[in-house]
């Protein structure tokens, strides 16, 4: 029996093995591949020249936020106009600072907590919001400033599509939305494999992609992961 959906505990074990001595990935490599996957999912979903191409990326302080920073860079290279809101930055991980430096080099605006990020939640100018706030290690409830951010996104999730990176922020990773005020993503890009919470999405409201084409066949067999047949050179697959 294969696992199409995996728990937070199993996701953590797979990540640890990917970065362990046998496989040997670094977190920076996995982050780069994850961010590329999310950018590619947006490109595949909306196309290369949508009528509006501004994308706001909201990045949290951890690895999920790092995925978002990478995604923004790739979106710029794909012809979109990303803007990053990065309210709570970690000074403990130098690599995040390097990702911000890259964004600045690519002339991608990076907003801080003091900036007016809400003005970009405009359905007339913004194609989508990339939710890169919390990953599979998140445990509800969310804290400030992110609880306020999620409240603002919920007000507009019918007008401005949300692209969730791996987990819709504010959801319990294994059990799904914890209350009716949780955001509902228009796009969910599961990384490595869909988490259990993905079973709680409504296919009429959420288009689901899997991305992160970096799991060796031997590791997939070890954890009985479903085999995802990515087409050609794509890093994402629509489920």
The answer to whether 15 is a known ligand-binding residue is no
The answer to whether 140 is a known ligand-binding residue is yes
The answer to whether 20 is a known ligand-binding residue is no
The answer to whether 135 is a known ligand-binding residue is yes
The answer to whether 62 is a known ligand-binding residue is no
The answer to whether 134 is a known ligand-binding residue is no
The answer to whether 65 is a known ligand-binding residue is yes
Helices (H), 106-210: 146-156
The answer to whether 172 is a known ligand-binding residue is no
- How far apart (Å, rounded) are the C-alpha atoms in residues 17 and 12? 9
The answer to whether 66 is a known ligand-binding residue is yes
Unique residue bearing structure tokens 């728990």? 7
Which residues are within 8 A (CB) of 116 and not within 5 positions of it... i.e. 6 or more apart? Answer: none
The answer to whether 67 is a known ligand-binding residue is yes
The answer to whether 177 is a known ligand-binding residue is no
Helices (H), 127-205: 146-156
Report yes or no: 102 and 31 within 8 Å, Cβ to Cβ. no
The answer to whether 168 is a known ligand-binding residue is no
The half-sphere exposure of 239 on its side-chain side, counting CA atoms within 13 A, is 24
- Cis check: omega of the bond before 145, within 30 degrees of 0: yes
The answer to whether 124 is a known ligand-binding residue is no
| Binding-site residue positions for K(+) | 64, 131, 169
| Binding-site residue positions | 63-67, 131, 135-141, 166, 169
| Binding-site residue positions for (6S)-NADPHX | 63-67, 135-141, 166
């Amino acid at each position: 029996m294969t696992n199409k959906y995996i728990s937070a505990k199993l996701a953590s074990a797979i990540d640890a093995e990917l970065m362990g001595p046998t496989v040997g990935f670094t977190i920076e490599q996995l982050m780069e591949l994850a961010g590329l996957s999310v950018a590619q999912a947006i490109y595949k979903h909306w196309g290369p020249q949508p009528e509006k191409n501004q994308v706001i990326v909201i990045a949290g302080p951890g690895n999920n936020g790092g995925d978002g920073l990478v995604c923004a860079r790739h979106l710029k290279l794909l012809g979109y106009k990303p803007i990053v809101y990065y309210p709570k930055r970690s000074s403990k991980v130098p690599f995040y600072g390097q990702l911000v430096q890259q964004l600045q080099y690519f002339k991608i605006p990076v907003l801080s907590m003091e900036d007016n990020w809400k003005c970009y939640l405009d359905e007339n100018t913004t194609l989508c919001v990339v939710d890169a706030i919390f990953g599979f290690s998140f445990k509800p409830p969310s804290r400030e400033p992110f609880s306020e951010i999620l409240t603002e996104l919920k007000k507009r999730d019918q007008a401005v599509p949300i692209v969730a990176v791996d987990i819709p922020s504010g959801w319990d990773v294994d059990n799904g939305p914890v209350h009716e005020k949780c955001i509902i993503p228009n796009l969910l890009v599961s990384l490595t494999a869909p988490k259990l919470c993905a079973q709680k999405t409504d296919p009429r409201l959420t288009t689901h992609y899997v991305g992160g084409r970096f799991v060796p066949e031997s590791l997939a067999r070890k954890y009985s992961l479903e085999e995802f047949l990515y087409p050609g050179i794509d890093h994402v697959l629509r489920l």
